[in-house]
Amino acid sequence: MSTRLWLGAAGLAALMSVSPALAQKAKGTLRIAFTDPISSALLHDDPKPETGLTSVAVFDTLICFDRTNGELKPMLASSWKQIDDRTIEMKLREDVKFHDGSPFDADDAVYTLNWLVDPRNNIRFGSNFDWLEKAEKIDRFTIRIIEKFPSPLAMLRLSSGAPMLPSDRHSGFGESGDFGRKSPIGTGGYRVEYIDSTRGIMLVRNPDYPQGGACTPKPTIERVQLMPIPDAQTQIAQLMTGGVDLIRITTRDQAEMLASNPAFAVTANQAITFHYMAMDAVGRAGNAALQKFEVRKALIQALDRARIAASVVPGGEAVKPVDSFCFPIQRGCGFTNKPYAYDLEAAKKLLAGAGYPNGFEVEINATPGSHDLGEAIAGELRRIGVRATVARLTFGAYRQRQRDGKQQILVGQWTNGGFPDVSGTADFYFNNGDRDYWRDPEIVKWAKAALSTLDETTRRSLYAQIFDRANTQAYVLPISTKPDVFVHSQDLEIATGSLNVFGSELSLMRWK
pLDDT bin (cut points 50, 70, 90) of residue 250 is confident
Residue 44 has pLDDT above 90, yes or no: no
Mean pLDDT of all residues belonging to the chain: 91
Residue range 263-290: average pLDDT? 95
Lowest-confidence segment of 171-185, 287-301, 341-355 by average pLDDT: 171-185
Instruction: Give, in order, the Cα–Cα distances in Å from 75 to each of 60, 134, 218, 378.
Output: 8, 21, 12, 47
| Nearest of 340, 354, 332 to residue 416 by alpha carbon | 332
Instruction: Give, in order, the Cα–Cα distances in Å from 150 to each of 116, 129, 146, 155, 453.
Output: 18, 12, 10, 11, 8
> Which strands sit side by side in the sheet containing 274-279, from one edge to the other?
387-392, 361-366, 409-414, 274-279, 476-481
Q: In three state form, how does the secondary structure of 274-290 look?
A: EEEEEECCCCCCCCHHH
Residue 196's DSSP bridge partners are: 200
Residue range 142-156: average pLDDT? 96
Residues in the chain: 512
**Rounded-to-integer distance, Cα 243 and Cα 439, Å:** 50
**Rounded-to-integer distance, Cα 296 and Cα 410, Å:** 13
Query: For residue 309, what is the enclosing H or E element?
Result: helix 305-312
Residue 10 has pLDDT above 60, yes or no: no
Helix segments in 355-440, DSSP class H: 371-381, 395-403, 423-429
**Rounded-to-integer distance, Cα 196 and Cα 213, Å:** 31
Neighbours of 310 (CB within 10 A): 17
Q: Given this model, what pLDDT does residue 364 score?
A: 98
Residue 217 has pLDDT above 60, yes or no: yes
Q: Given this model, what pLDDT does residue 5 score?
A: 38
- Compute the half-sphere exposure of residue 81: CA atoms within 13 Å on the CB side of its CA: 3
Neighbours of 42 (CB within 10 A): 23
Q: Given this model, what pLDDT does residue 441 score?
A: 94
Residue 1 has pLDDT above 80, yes or no: no
Q: Given this model, what pLDDT does residue 306 score?
A: 94
Residue range 29-37: average pLDDT? 92
| Nearest of 419, 414, 421, 475 to residue 444 by alpha carbon | 475
Q: Given this model, what pLDDT does residue 174 score?
A: 62
Q: Given this model, what pLDDT does residue 12 score?
A: 46
Query: For residue 184, what is the enclosing H or E element?
Result: none
Residue range 299-314: average pLDDT? 96
**Rounded-to-integer distance, Cα 400 and Cα 199, Å:** 32
**Rounded-to-integer distance, Cα 211 and Cα 75, Å:** 6
In this prediction the pTM is 0.87
Residues 353, 297: contact at Cβ < 8 Å? no
pLDDT bin (cut points 50, 70, 90) of residue 20 is low
**Rounded-to-integer distance, Cα 146 and Cα 132, Å:** 6
Please, what's the b/e burial string for 449-474 (b: 16 or more CB within 10 A of its CB; e: otherwise)?
A: ebbeeeeeeebbbbbbbbbbbbbebb
Residues 91-129 have pLDDT tens digits of 999 999 999 999 999 999 999 999 999 988 878 777 889
Of 216-220, 433-437, 452-456, 470-474, highest mean pLDDT: 470-474
Alpha carbon 360 to chain centroid distance?
34
**Rounded-to-integer distance, Cα 54 and Cα 294, Å:** 46
Judged by DSSP in three states, 413 sits in strand
Alpha carbon 377 to chain centroid distance?
23
pLDDT bin (cut points 50, 70, 90) of residue 25 is low
pLDDT bin (cut points 50, 70, 90) of residue 24 is low
pLDDT bin (cut points 50, 70, 90) of residue 27 is low
Angle between helices 456-472 and 441-450 (to 10 degrees): 160
Residues 398-448 have pLDDT tens digits of 999 999 999 999 999 998 888 999 998 998 899 888 889 999 999 999 999
Residue 3 has pLDDT above 60, yes or no: no
Residues 331, 156: contact at Cβ < 8 Å? yes
Residue 467 has pLDDT above 90, yes or no: yes
Please, what's the b/e burial string for 177-187 (b: 16 or more CB within 10 A of its CB; e: otherwise)?
A: bebbbebbbbb
Residue 471 has pLDDT above 70, yes or no: yes
Q: What is the secondary structure of 214-242 as a DSSP string?
A: SSSPPP--SEEEEEE---HHHHHHHHHTT
Residue range 231-238: average pLDDT? 94
**Rounded-to-integer distance, Cα 281 and Cα 158, Å:** 36
Query: For residue 366, what is the enclosing H or E element?
Result: strand 361-366
Q: What is the largest CA-CA distance in the chain?
A: 73
Looking at per-residue confidence, does 105 or 1 come out higher? Answer: 105
Residues 104, 164: contact at Cβ < 8 Å? yes
Looking at per-residue confidence, does 56 or 433 come out higher? Answer: 56
Residues 62, 90: contact at Cβ < 8 Å? yes
Residues 277, 476: contact at Cβ < 8 Å? yes
Residues 164-209 have pLDDT tens digits of 999 998 887 766 678 888 889 999 999 999 998 888 999 999 999 9
Name residue 409's amino acid. Answer: I
| Percent of the chain's residues with pLDDT above 90 | 75
Q: In three state form, how does the secondary structure of 144-172 look?
A: EEEECCCCCCHHHHHHHCCCCCCHHHHCC
